[in-house]
Structure 1
């Protein structure tokens, strides 16, 4: 599928895989809308490409709502949503009392997809997952503990569970929005600062993985390859660019329905008052 003239929204675009993917998508003629948390870095990437940009803090649900409003105002249709934003944030909670890793990796991306559903009709969502999800297990009766960070596990395990939950929700989204193609992928072990919040454990893991790491540009190439894939993703999980065996829970309809209701409750009960009007013009900035 040619991306020339297609509208692509890319989250996590300020560094790493996202920044490199922005360059590659732009080179293929896509109309890229870049989303990042850091204003300075996001603006720098966007200005080099003369692309519209937005900032949003996924720790704040109000920012996600503002971002969705801005994207709907700036686009008529979104052909591809590359949901690449993610983070490891151990022992940290949002203002809503939600575990930060869960909110940034699960709740906020899901809310953004939900709010953009009308604009995504006939389009595609490609999410960046992690093979770590295969080592995680989620119980139907432990969703509250998962969201509140009451799991008593390491930051890495909490991250793995969050990516599993995100993948389950993505497929439930696909079942409820039949006109939107969905899929996700593990981009490889990427040499970046993504695992820095894990401290010494992250440093050790990074050192052990160094012989097997790929560059952010290699990860970006895989994202762009799947974003422009001719055939449907159809809920498939990919490792790099090949279909791979996911966690058996990833396609659980029971967990999908339970997580959907849980996410709906977490977001609908926390609807903030409308924030100040965002900036206008080609470049837009909301949040921090």
Structure 2
């Protein structure tokens, strides 16, 4: 049986952290959440764009380059210092990078889409759980921006950095990372069982934004794409709906769950292995 996300409600008194908020879906979501009354932490890499969104929304700008795990640690420290409560964490940053390694030694696409968000979540998790103790039941959430590309993803725990095999213009790494977003969400939901914090992932749709570059195929596809405001609708509803009509760990295809994706997304052992491997990669 499928369910549909309800419309958002007012968010006064609630803090929402949105990564990748300087453009595209993240910027559109930050604007809408601010209009609903939320205090929005606007996280981005580009100073000018991030500060512009923060000024527009009345939120605060936080600069972080997710190609550096130390920058994620600094971001978490700044967020914890600034906000005594965090009601929603939206791990929205991502995209396809070139076949390059970050300074941490990881594939850029893997780190941007999964590993940095994993680290940020774990660093903020105690604060999020503490927030949930005094918030309305089910209102504190962690949201991952995934993609229908997860349906074609394959996750190999012995090659999370995609060092082997063809590159295919980054799509192998990207589809794997989007599947990792769902696996992470499901393992997070399992670990949060019995708490007042829930976790969800979603596909925003094919959005007309700067994602994917301006090659001929992407340019053609973007003519048929939805605007960022439409792509942000699932994120806004997952952050602001008074209740989510699906159990924690669900994947929404736009506004509907359960969304169709790879059968590997239901592999609990793979999800657990991804969590443990990610913990090892971010350990200091």
Query: Given the two structures, how large is their TM-score scaled by the length of structure 2?
Result: 0.87
1:12-23 mapped onto 2 (5 Å cutoff): 12-23=20-31
Aligned pairs for 1:1-288 (under 5 A) are: 1-121=9-129, 122=132, 123-138=140-155, 142-154=156-168, 155-178=170-193, 179=195, 180-196=197-213, 200=215, 203-208=216-221, 210-211=223-224, 213-232=225-244, 233=246, 234-243=248-257, 244-268=259-283, 271=284
Q: 1:276 matched to which residue of 2?
A: none
Aligned-residue offset at 1:148: 4.8
Q: Structure 2: which 5+ runs fail to align?
A: 1-8, 133-139
Seen in structure 2, the aligned counterparts of structure 1 residues 94 and 148 have a Cα distance that, compared at 3 Å, is: farther
Contact 2:34 2:58 survives alignment (8 Å): no
Structure 1 segments of 4+ aligned residues over 6 angstroms from their partners:
none
* Unaligned ranges ≥5, structure 1: 272-288
Partner SS for 1:116: helix
In structure 2, the residue corresponding to 1:5 is in which secondary structure?
A: coil
Q: 1:201-257: CA deviations, max 9, x gaps?
A: xx314414532x100111122321221223345111111111122222213210011
**Residue of structure 2 in register with 1:282 after alignment:** none
Please state how far the C-alpha of 1:109 moved relative to its aligned partner. Answer: 0.1
Residue number in structure 1 paired with 2:137: none
Query: What TM-score comes out, normalization by structure 1 length?
Result: 0.86
Tell me the distance in 1 between the aligned counterparts of 2:162 and 2:265: 21
Residues 103-142 of structure 1 deviation map (CA, whole Å, 9 limit, x = unaligned): 111111001000000111122011111000001122xxx3
Aligned residue in 1 for 2:136? none
How many residue pairs get matched? 261
C-alpha RMSD of matched pairs (Å): 1.6
> Is 1:226–1:241's contact at 8 Å kept on the other side of the alignment?
no
Quick check: 2:34–2:40 contact (8 Å CA) kept in 1? yes
What's the counterpart of residue 135 of structure 2?
Answer: none
| CA separation of 1:265 and 1:215: change in aligned 2, threshold 3 A | same
